[in-house]
Chain A
Amino acid sequence: MNSKKWNTVATGILYFIAGVMILILAFLLIFILWNGLPHVSWHFLTTPARSFQTGGGIGIQLFNSFYLLFLAMLISIPISIGAGIYLSEYAKQNWLTSLIRTSIDILSSLPSIVVGLFGFLVFSIQAGLGFSILSGALALTVFNLPLLTRNVEESLNSISESQREAGLALGLSKWETVLRIIIPEALPGIVTGMILGAGRVFGEAAALIYTAGQSAPALDFTNWNPFYIASPLNPLRPAETLAVHIWKINSEGIMPDAAQVSAGASAVLIIAVLIFNFGARFISARVYGKMTGTK
């Protein structure tokens, strides 16, 4: 076969494989949404789960997922911004900085089950938090920090050095310059990274099964006192999330309609991820427009 023919054949194969790639995504999405969406109803989204009988919902798990996400982001956002600033603005090129970068690299590549087990050992057992929202949020923070930090660092690095010089030349400290000039300009990138991070956290399960736990006790949605045991806000109660729930009902086999509930829950999870994905693009575009537009 001559080279011309090879060229045609190879191109054909590449088209085929790219097509397969699209088919895989289409299949995944259609499978989940086709099987899941019929089960998603207001009732499904708001009622508690049931064992040994059909008709349970995912109300508590859904709430838990959002609450955990909120707490995890609350802890990890400030830390990652601080560390991102350090790496992009203060870190000198020396062994200490390369040590810091290496540890962040290692942390980001750790399997999430290892993070979960570490959280189990340190937060649940040693710190006495037990299976609780708080241990879960801390484990998710560990899981989330390296990527957020790197995103903050990269977003800050993308802002021109001349902006920093402008601030410094006016007698501002480096810190003021970063906080008041560089961060606002880097905000679209930072926010996009945060939302994508939130999407990752929302779907994470392995880091949570031994920290936030695998049970979802009934909640009293009329009592929002965080110290009350059945309060939705109580940070010390165990809290199975949506992702953990999908895993749990599939590996336990005590829920008769596990397949339907999993499909519904997966659909909700996928839709949430889609919303995070599109939200990231949308918000970053908006923030950007606001900043460069008129006051």
Chain B
Amino acid sequence: MHDDIKDSLLKKSRATRSEQRGRIISLTCTAIIVLIVVSIFYFVASKGLATFFSNKVNVWDFLSKSIWNPGSTDSHGSPQAGALPMIIGSFGVTLLSAIIATPFAIATAIFMTEISPNKGYKILQPVTELLVGIPSVVYGFIGLSVVVPFVRHTFGGTGFGILAGTFVLFVMILPTVTSMSVDALRAVPRYYREASLALGATRWQTIYKVVLRSATPGLATAVIFGMSRAFGEALAVQMVIGNAVLLPHNLISPASTLTSVLTMGMGNTVMGSAANNALWSLALLLLLMSLVFNLLINKIAKRGRI
């Protein structure tokens, strides 16, 4: 007897074909993203490394010298590409803003999760969400019209510089670090707190000795994430830092960061020239730093899990 059902079990059907199509479509989309990442690395690295291979700049000189004039050459005939001022500028604003933002963010997060988890959380949660959404040029504009004059009046100088950049970045990363800290604190199991309170500890002792301690990996991740954002922020910083490629004397003298020099310079150099390649080297440095931040976050997250 002929069995249609038996035959159909051995044949391809509409579902088989749709499954095949689906696999191909979804894999292609994923491959596009991976391809983008690979080509970003490839292009930025090939351009950025040209400074060292084609223009013969010494890597150590690039990292440690402070004269940035890659259009002209030094006594050895290689371009003057000393990126130290920008490196110091970038790390300076990043570290300082993170140092100020961390206590604020963690304190706000503690307030939202431990002190006033209902009312306080309901008010502050949308506040942080909104702050995260404000575009960075708006932060830059406010920095330019409020922070820079404030620094000028209070501390003297032009007002532009690392201090102004720090203030702007502080406000910029504060909401991000706060909301990630909130997540970290909320992940601490409730019974930790109950156990501590049951032993007669005050709320503050519980927060300080139990909650904060077990949330440390998560809080560290939040801070590093904030630092990575601060390090990579371009326009808001560029608008208030003063854009002088000099080693900063103090916090209120005009300075520059990797991103600010890139922002200003890329349009003014000819593709392929030594000056242009030197800028790509800065971009490569920026890329590598963002990798380092990423790696750190993953390391901490892994350790936190164990």
Chain A residues with a Cβ under 8 A of chain B: 3-4, 6-7, 10-11, 13-15, 17-18, 20-22, 24-25, 28, 31-32, 35, 78-83, 85-87, 89-90, 99-100, 103-107, 109-115, 117-118, 120-122, 125, 142, 145-146, 149, 171-176, 178-179, 196, 199-200, 202-206, 209-210, 214, 243-244, 246-247, 250-251, 259, 262-263, 266, 269-270, 273-274, 276-277
Contacts and interface: CB of A to CB of B under 8 A. Distances in A.
B111 A15 contact: yes
Interface string B123-150: 1100111110111111011101110000
A121 B203 contact: no
Nearest to A141: B36
A3 B202 contact: yes
14 contacts: A10-B207, A14-B110, A15-B115, A17-B104, A21-B108, A82-B29, A83-B33, A89-B26, A100-B33, A111-B231, A113-B232, A122-B43, A172-B15, A277-B129
A101 B15 CA distance: 29
Given A106-B37, A146-B33, A176-B15, 17 more contacts: A14-B115, A17-B111, A22-B123, A22-B127, A25-B127, A25-B131, A86-B29, A90-B26, A100-B30, A104-B33, A111-B290, A113-B232, A113-B235, A121-B47, A142-B36, A209-B267, A250-B141
Given A3-B205, A103-B34, A111-B234, A210 B267 contact: yes
B294 interface: yes
Interface string B264-298: 00110001000000001001001100110110001
Given A103-B38, A113-B286, A21 B178 contact: yes
Given A122-B39, A179-B22, A210-B267, A79 B140 contact: no
Identify whether the interface residues of B are mostly helix, strand, loop, or mixed.
helix
A287 to B, nearest CB: 20
A173 B16 CA distance: 7
B140 A247 contact: yes
Interface string B82-98: 00000000000000000
A107 B271 contact: no
A38 to B, nearest CB: 15
Nearest to B16: A173
Contacts, number: 256
B40 A114 contact: yes
Q: How many interface residues does chain B have, given as a range?
A: 35 or more
B202 to A, nearest CB: 4
Contacts of B128: 21
B75 interface: no
Contacts of B107: 13-14, 17-18
A246 to B, nearest CB: 5
B202 A106 contact: no
A7 B37 contact: no
Contact of A86 (B30, B235, B267, B293): B30
Contacts of B245: none
Given A22-B124, A31-B142, A205-B135, A173 B22 contact: yes
B26 A86 contact: yes
Contacts of A120: 266
Contacts of A3: 201-202, 204-205
B290 A25 contact: no
